[in-house]
Amino acid sequence: MMSKYMYRLVCCLFLIIICIPLFSQDDDTSFSIVSQFADNQGTHFQTGIDLQGGNVPFFAKEDCELVFINKKRPESIHYPCGNLIMLQNRTLNQRYHYSSIADDSYDERILNYSKNEFIGLSGNSGTNDEQMLHVELEDIEHNRLLNPAAFFDMPDTKKPVINDLFFIDIHNREISLLQTKKVIRGGKLFIKCCDYIDDKSSALMPYQIDVFINGEELCSLNFESMDKRNKTFYLSESEKDFFALYQINSPNVFFLKEQYFLPGLLGIKVVVKDFAGNSKSYITSFRVLPN
């Protein structure tokens, strides 16, 4: 017959086993990123990321306190974000927005969370039919939105992909620098590129795009954060709002810069980077012709 000591020991071990998943570091690989920060949403930027996965646990990224909660109720107007929890870190400089949380998977009585503590499960309590978790990250101190992808650890050994680098010249002709070496002097420069992460097939946003002409930086795009100015979001440290960046309604095509070069032979280098530090470069030369 089992002694009282052994019985208590078995009970304690059982509780430890079932509780470890709730208070361990989250396994971000259980999610798939289906919509990324600054992605093209038709008429506006994606202001966070959408992580696809049903009933996947998510955890506090740092010590936080609850500042707002919205619980979807059957008798209320259907809130687009569904169940929403907003947490603020202890240093009061960042807020985490989690929405589309599964019903009854979180405890609305909890006011404080420790780092790695279980918050809830992904679901479809919002207007999206798919099981997912929507995450936004707010920099309170600088009044900007940050790319939450930097806070999710997903294996990534793949380099970004550069599909095309092209001009739309003053005659509205599309001229690919991957196919031709001659352009007229005036036009807009665009790039088509994307990133992939291990074991995922979805094309994702890159982290940064840098363009150099004859070794000098021509322009740079960074998708790390966005600022809100006059009720409009811009990529931080730039003048590119949604309509400036996505001038061509085609997936993964970004406007870089309007440029008028002097006639002559020029060298161009493009470097596309992802959050994991992988990079892809393309180097070529082209001749600028008089108009």
What's 37-76 look like in SS3?
A: CCCECCCCECCCEEEECCCCEEECCCCEEEEEEECCCCCC
How large is the average pLDDT for residues 263-278?
Answer: 95
Dihedrals φ, ψ of 64, to 5°?
A: -140, 165
pLDDT at 200 over 80: no
How large is the average pLDDT for residues 255-277?
Answer: 94
**What span, in angstroms and rounded, lies between the C-alpha atoms of 109 and 103?**
15
Adjacent-strand bridge partners of 90: none
- Strand 279-289 to 182-184 pairing: parallel
CA torsion sign for 8, 14, 19, 21 is positive
User: 111: pLDDT confidence band, cut at 50, 70 and 90?
Assistant: very high
1 token code pair: 């017959």
pLDDT at 13 over 50: no
Helix (H) or strand (E) holding 9: helix 4-23
pLDDT computed for residue 82 by the predictor: 87
Interval 112-160: pLDDT, tens:
999 999 999 999 887 777 899 999 999 999 999 999 988 877 788 999 9
User: 7: pLDDT confidence band, cut at 50, 70 and 90?
Assistant: very low
Query: Which domains occur in the chain, in start order?
Result: 25-151 (2.70.70.10), 161-289 (2.60.40.10)
pLDDT computed for residue 195 by the predictor: 93
The answer for residues whose C-beta is within 8 angstroms of residue 20's C-beta and 6 or more apart is none
HSE-CB at 169 with a 13 A cutoff on CA atoms is 15
Which regions of 102-252 does DSSP assign to beta strands (E)? 112-113, 118-121, 132-139, 144-146, 161-169, 174-176, 182-184, 186-194, 208-213, 216-222, 225-229, 232-235
Helix (H, G, I), strand (E, B) or coil at 12: helix
- By the 10 Å C-beta count (0-12 exposed, 13-18 middle, 19+ buried), 198 is classed as exposed
pLDDT computed for residue 186 by the predictor: 86
In whole angstroms, how far apart are CA 117 and each of 15, 54, 63, 154? 16, 19, 9, 19
As separate numbers, helices (DSSP H) first and strands (DSSP E) second, the chain gives: 2, 21
Mean pLDDT, all residues of the chain? 86
**What span, in angstroms and rounded, lies between the C-alpha atoms of 271 and 291?**
29
Interval 207-218: pLDDT, tens:
999 999 999 999
User: 70: pLDDT confidence band, cut at 50, 70 and 90?
Assistant: confident
How large is the average pLDDT for residues 156-184?
Answer: 93
Residue 139's closest CA among 239, 38, 227? 227
pLDDT at 248 over 70: yes
pLDDT computed for residue 54 by the predictor: 87
Tokens 């995450």 belong to residue: 135
**pTM to 2 decimals?**
0.84
CA-based R_g, the chain, Å: 24
Percentage of residues in the chain having pLDDT higher than 90: 63
pLDDT at 14 over 70: no
pLDDT at 163 over 70: yes
